[in-house]
Structure formats: C-alpha cells, structure tokens
Amino acid sequence: MQLPPVRQQGTLLRRYKRFLADVRLEDGATLTVHCPNSGSMRGCSEPGSPVVISRSDNPRRKYAWTLEMVRDNGVWIGVNTAMTNHLVHEALERGVIDDFGPVEAVAREVKVSGRSRLDFLVTARGRQTYMEVKNCSLAEEGVALFPDAVTSRGTRHLEELARLREEGFGAAVLFCVQRGDADRFRAAAAIDPLYAETLRRVHARGVAVLAYRAEVEPERILLTTPLPTLQ
C-alpha cells in the first residue's frame, strides 16, 4: 500500500492527548499533526525520533497532517492504525494471507452482536471465517507484543470469536506487525494479563492466532511475512 503522495519527514517533539503530536520539520518549523493511534505507542513515541507525516486533501480536517510512522531501533514502525485493515485486505486479495485457502469473498466491519463488530468475514473454500485484526507496533528483543496497553475491547473481541467458533464458523485473530525487527509474536502478558490469558484460552477452543509482519518504508507499507506465535 502506497502512502499518500504528499509526505515529509521530521522529528517527533511530543505525543499528547492521545491523538495529537508535535513534529519539528526539516526547515525548523513546528507542526501539530493528527496521531491516529489510541494505544500507548510504547516503544515508538520517544521525543527526538524521526517520523514520516502525510497530508490529507480533506479541507474539513482540523489537522491536515497525519503521523504515519516513527523510526526506532533502526526500523520504521507504522503507527497509523487506520491503515491496518487496508493492509490486511490487500494481503488477502494478493494471496499473502493464505491460511484459509483461496479467498472467494471478503466482507468488512461485520456486526456479530449488539455490542461488537469484527473486522472481516472471509469466505474461502465455501467456509466463512470471522477475523479480528490488531495493529502491533511494540517489540522487545525480536518479539512482537500486543497489546501495548490494557484493552477490555480487545478481550471482548476474543470472546466473540470463541462464541462464533463454537457456533460452527471459522474464527481468527490476526496481529499486523508493522515493524521489521520482530521475527515472532507473543501476547504482552506483563501489560495485560487478562488479554494474554483470554488469547491462550480461545486458541485452545479453536480460534486461530495469526501474525504477519509488514515491510515498512517511508513510501509504502506491505504485509509480507507470516510469523510464528508463541503461547
């Protein structure tokens, strides 16, 4: 997936109020940009880090520029979670994600209960599989970790997947690792032990746990590589 064509690099000064960041541009000017990431951004929000921002052509936006990626540990890290489902959809269409067999149809934002929607309903080989996608930007010692903050919503999604699996559907959670310095995935039990335990439990009940790593570059992000998942 190509990033928006109008981009520039800068230096992160601070991230604040969850959805805002101040960036110093190469000409010395300071710009406030939208930060589309509700997580803690642990490990990828250090002041002084190089960043890539893109400009939206939507005239109604209060902040025209968006924080797309941050450089840490020698790699670019995709932090725009609004991109995650597009990356996964593209990878399904390209056959990179082939865990379900040849994909026949993909539906997005599927309502599964009065409280929840899941990201995808994938039809492959005549079987329907519900799939929730999570963006993973945290890594330590080569291990990609999710979540980077406590997520009750994420835990609820896992329970929904387990219920659907018991009803006879396929069910999967896919972790989209947007950094190149991780070669395996594990739930971040030290950050959210309930999520980690729930993930282990629903996996035992038949929910597939998948992780794919993206190639992240200032011009584009592409999901390419399946990673082993550690329990």
Of 48, 73, 98, which closes a domain? 73
Distance of CA 28 to the CA centre of its chain: 31
In the listed set 73, 89, 106, which residue is the last one of a domain according to the structure? 73
Print the domain residue range for 59.
Answer: 7-73
Give the β-pairing of 103-111 and 75-78. unpaired
Q: With respect to residue 47, please indicate whether it lies within any of the assigned structural domains.
A: yes
User: Model confidence at 140, in pLDDT bands (50, 70, 90)?
Assistant: very high
> Domains in the chain: how many in total?
2
Dihedral angle computed from the Cα positions of residues 62, 65, 71 and 77, in that order, rounded to the nearest 10 degrees: 80
Closest CA to 177 of 168, 187, 169, 167: 187
Residues 51 and 99 both lie in one domain: no
Same domain for 112 and 29?
no
Both 137 and 153 in a single domain? Answer: yes
Is 188 within the bounds of a domain?
Answer: yes
Pairing mode, strands 50-55 and 65-72? antiparallel
**CA–CA dist 116, 205 (Å, integer):** 20
In a domain, 12, yes or no: yes
Same domain, 106 and 216: yes
The mean per-residue pLDDT over the stretch 78-96 comes to 96
Share of the chain above pLDDT 90, in %: 93
**CB–CB of 174/132 below 8 Å?**
yes
Residue 194 burial (CB count, 10 A): 14
Percent of the chain with pLDDT over 70: 100
Residue 1 lies in a domain: no
* pLDDT digits 0-9 by tens, 42-78: 989 999 999 999 999 999 999 999 999 999 999 999 9
Provide CB contacts within 8 A for 45, sequence distance 6+.
12, 15, 21, 70
Nearest partner of 186 among 228, 134, 132, judged by Cα: 228
Give domain status of residue 2, yes or no.
Answer: no
Domain assignment present for 124: yes
Residues 32 and 50 in one domain: yes
